[in-house]
Amino acid sequence: MATPSQRQTIRIIDVIRKKRDGGELSPAEIEAVISGYTRGDFPDYQMSAWLMAALIRGMSKAELATLTEAMLHSGQVLDFSELAGPKVDKHSTGGVGDKTSLVLAPLVASGGVYVPMISGRGLGHTGGTLDKLEAIPGFNVNFTLAEFRRTLARVGCAMIGQTAEIAPADKEIYALRDVTGTVESPFLICASIMSKKLAEGVDALVLDVKTGSGAFMKKMEDSEFLASLMVETGKRMGKKMVALITDMDQPLGNYVGNALEIVECLDILEGRGAADLRELCIEEAAWMFCVAGRSGTVQEGRQLSEKLIAQGSAMQKFREMVRAQGGDERVVDDRARLPQAKSTVAVPAVQGGLVAAIDCERLGVASLVLGGGREKKEDVIDPAVGLVVHKKVGDGVAAGEALCTVYYNSGARLEEAQAAITQAYTIAPEPPRERRPLLHKVIQ
Ligand code: URA
């Protein structure tokens, strides 16, 4: 930690210039940036400049370690050792239609593993777990740590946002990065995710590192680099770590948008729903069981996950969690209780053929401009809007057939959303050259 006298001598403008010019920051300089910004000592525009410099210049391993620890220790580090049993979480680097957390927390908790999950909001074109949970009427993601602890002990899982006590530096910085084009840095993503996750008091962590057109890391080598940074960071802090590099070259599942994604999670918990989403939920749950020591192999973990869904235990746990967090559990039986968009419109294919590619980020942007995400920190989310995707890569489509259905409340930016969807699709006479797997790689 920087001493008060060191802090006084560090001027943020000098640290911004040093990073801009490619210098390596000292631990005291990094701590001064993080603690100064969290205290409100300097404004958003200086932090934005520093973030942009860090994004462009990158960081050394030593800088990343100090940044992660400074963000982690900006708040409390939880300890759940009084709970007998393994505590495991999973975190995704973010994607379009990526809703697995909402299935995994109750699913894995129903198998006897504690899941204390601290999540984030939508970031850029990607959705966020907290925004999705808040689509359930009454669901409170703003629990105090005491409420979080009680719910975890009673239910086995709890899903909340960063409280003022948990990695408060990340909470502030995350919101700023979202609107300043400073998300896509492996170092900033690593520090952001790991500072939250290391504060959670888990024994092990499963990371879902996305790769492809809807991910922040579009190229495989960048996703691998991010995965290894995070695995290394977690191991250094004594956690059992695994990172799955999974595909985000098209939306996961068929629903994009906060309330719509709750509907799709309910389908999965009922043993139905989109095959890709179901497969990834089972795979990630299997790894969570495995790193928790609840199953001897990943295959056993898969079987356990399938069983917990088939016998209704996972859905029962979802109900318990929703009830415990003040939400209306009646949404499970009556989805009309979720926020509903006033209007829908189909976006047709302009030509027939096969879907050769989807620019997944554009679909995320389509949902965002309808009100499903934020362009400015203070934007308010419309939980009802989004898209249902009817055509995925490799599917045949006739001219005029619907590619997606748009759910909207205001027509103000409807045309923009429709254009983004049309532009997202490449339709060709030939099928795509490469069929991408859902799970690309496992890094341990
Ligand atoms: N998720 C996070 O929590 N932080 C990031 O920076 C990106 C995804």
Instruction: Decide if 192 is catalytic.
Output: yes
pLDDT in tens, the chain (444 residues): 555 545 458 999 999 999 999 999 999 999 999 999 999 999 999 999 999 999 999 999 999 999 999 999 999 999 999 999 999 999 999 999 999 999 999 999 999 999 999 998 888 898 899 999 999 999 999 999 999 999 999 999 999 998 889 999 998 998 899 899 999 899 999 999 999 899 998 999 999 999 999 999 999 999 999 999 999 999 999 999 999 999 999 999 999 999 999 999 999 999 999 999 999 999 999 999 999 999 999 999 999 999 999 999 999 999 999 999 999 999 999 999 999 999 999 999 999 999 999 999 999 999 999 999 998 878 899 999 999 999 999 999 999 999 999 999 999 999 999 999 999 999 999 888 788 999 999 999
The answer, yes or no, to whether any atom of ligand 1 lies below 6 A from the CB of 38, is no
pTM of this structure: 0.91
Cβ of residue 189 lying under 6 Å from some atom of ligand 1:
yes
Instruction: Name beta bridge partners: 118.
Output: 160
Would you call 170 a catalytic residue per the annotation? yes
Alpha helices (runs of H) in 40-179, residue ranges in sequence order: 44-57, 61-72, 100-110, 129-133, 145-155, 168-178
Residue whose CA lies nearest to ligand 1 atom number 5: 189
CATH fold label, 88-335: Pyrimidine Nucleoside Phosphorylase; Chain A, domain 2 (3.40.1030)
Backbone angles phi and psi of 94, in degrees to 5: 110, 135
122 CB under 6 A from ligand 1? no
To the nearest whole number, what is the mean pLDDT of the chain?
Answer: 95
pLDDT tens per residue, range 224-275: 999 999 999 999 999 999 999 999 999 999 999 999 999 999 999 999 999 9
| Mutational test site, ligand 1, from 51, 101, 123, 198, max ligand atoms within 8 Å of CB | 123
- Domain residue spans of the chain: 4-58, 88-335, 339-428
Atom of ligand 1 nearest to the CA of 120: 3
pLDDT digits (tens, 9 = 90+) for 139-153: 999 999 999 999 999
339-428 fold? Aldehyde Oxidoreductase; domain 3 (3.90.1170)
Atom of ligand 1 nearest to the CA of 188: 6
User: Which two tokens mark 55?
Assistant: 């994004």
Architecture of domain 4-58 in this structure: Up-down Bundle (1.20)
